[in-house]
Each structure stands twice: as structure tokens, then as C-alpha cells.
Amino acid sequence: MSPVALVTGAAGGIGSAVVTTLVKHGWAVVGVDLVDRPAGLEGIEWVVGDVRDQATVEHALAAASQYGQVGGLVTATLAEQRGSLESLDPAALTTVFDVQVTAAWAWSTAVVAAAPSEASLVHISSVHAQRAVPGMAAYAMGKAALDALVRAAAVEWGPRGVRCNAVLPGFVPVRRNEHRQTEERLAGHPLLRYVTAEDVAQVVAFLLGSESRAVTGVSLPVDGGMLATLPHWA
């Protein structure tokens, strides 16, 4: 029987790449998103719903039960509010945290409660969790909190055989941001190439699988070297 994984934000650039990669690695996948299944993701279970709703969690777990017990979770949902610190809207900031952090916590606890033994949780964080740029404070705060959740989960659930890690993508050109590709941005990557959604997905698959059985509590950059670069060189 195939291992079973839930992937939230499965219709997005990184989320859909994760789904495709996990299927290639032999996982049975249940994708979750606010929108219908995109073309190219046929052959998996799909749940349309808001990740903040408990009903969506229960629906996804029920859909997964036909394949067996869930042993993997990937949260790849996106919420951001751009603007200066003094212009942030409190309600929008709450939404960012609800989608990026609270939902990740809720889905993690649900999977751990349903898993009979070992499980692996991977949350998609960002390089913004460790570095700041103007206008991205809300997103950065949410991702930093997500990294803190990863460490807490690794410590508390480790004795139960549960691993929890984060992946920190750098700039990944997808449909919503491909217009932001510039020579200056590219120069900030020592590898002199952008990270792709597939690059991120391969690392997620590694962290979900048994090959990484000794890895937990880690926030792993997949950024082409962005975080290793001194600002004046970029």
C-alpha cells in the first residue's frame, strides 16, 4: 500500500510541483486548495476548501482514509500583505497568520492524531523568515512563526516518531511573480539561476521520506545561495 500524504495549497506553483513529485515517488496524495483541481494533476484525490476550516481538515482525512493512514503532510498555502509596517491592516495581518501558521498547526495536530505511528510534516516557509526587505513584514513574521512551530513540533512529537521540518525557498518564478525577474535579483543567487518549484518539491520529497529519518526541527534553505550572500555582493 502506498504511503499517503496531504498537500495544502496544492494548486499553487510549489504546491502542484510537490503533488506531482510525490506521486512519482509512490505517494498517494490528497490535494487541498480553494480552487478546483488544475489541469495536469489528475489521478489524485482533490478537496476544495479553506484550510482554516476544520471541516476541510476532516474532509481531507476522510478522502485519504481509502488509501490508508496519513503519514505525510505538506502545507504550501500562501497569504501575504504588502506594505510598510505602519500601514499594515490588523485584520489582513490576522489572515496572514491564520493561513500560514494557525492552519499549519491545525493540520499538523490532526495528522499526528490520525497517524498510528511515524509521520513526517513539511511546511513551506521562506527565506523571508530569516531576512527582511521593506514592505514584506507581514509575510516575514508569518514565516518566522512557522519556523518556530516546526521546532516546537519536532521537540514535542519526536518521541512519538513524528518529524517536522520546513523548506525555505528563495525567489521561485511562478505565474504570480514571474514579472519580478530582474538581473539584479538573479545576481543575488551564487548559482546564477533561479530556484524552480520542482527544485523545492524534490527537497520536500526527501524530507517526507525515510532517507531523512534522522532530520527533524530543521528549516532548510532551497534558495540558490541567497542566504549565503553578503548584501553588497548582491
Whether 163 and 218 have beta carbons less than 8 Å apart is answered as no
d(CA 212, CA 200): 15
Catalytic residue among 27, 46, 139, 206: 139
Task: Give, in order, the Cα–Cα distances in Å from 59 to each of 29, 63, 64, 136.
Answer: 14, 6, 9, 33
Any residues with CB less than 8 A from the CB of 166 and at least 6 apart, and which? 122, 123, 124, 125, 129, 146, 147, 150, 218, 219, 220
165's enclosing H/E stretch is strand 162-169
DSSP state of 18: H
- 139 assigned to active site: yes
Q: At what angle do helices 103-114 and 54-65 cross, to 10 degrees?
A: 40
φ, ψ for residue 152 (rounded to 5)? -60, -45
Instruction: Determine how many CB atoms are found less than 10 A away from the CB of residue 35.
Output: 10
Whether 147 and 113 have beta carbons less than 8 Å apart is answered as no
Alpha helix ranges (H) inside 121-167: 137-157
Active site residues: 139
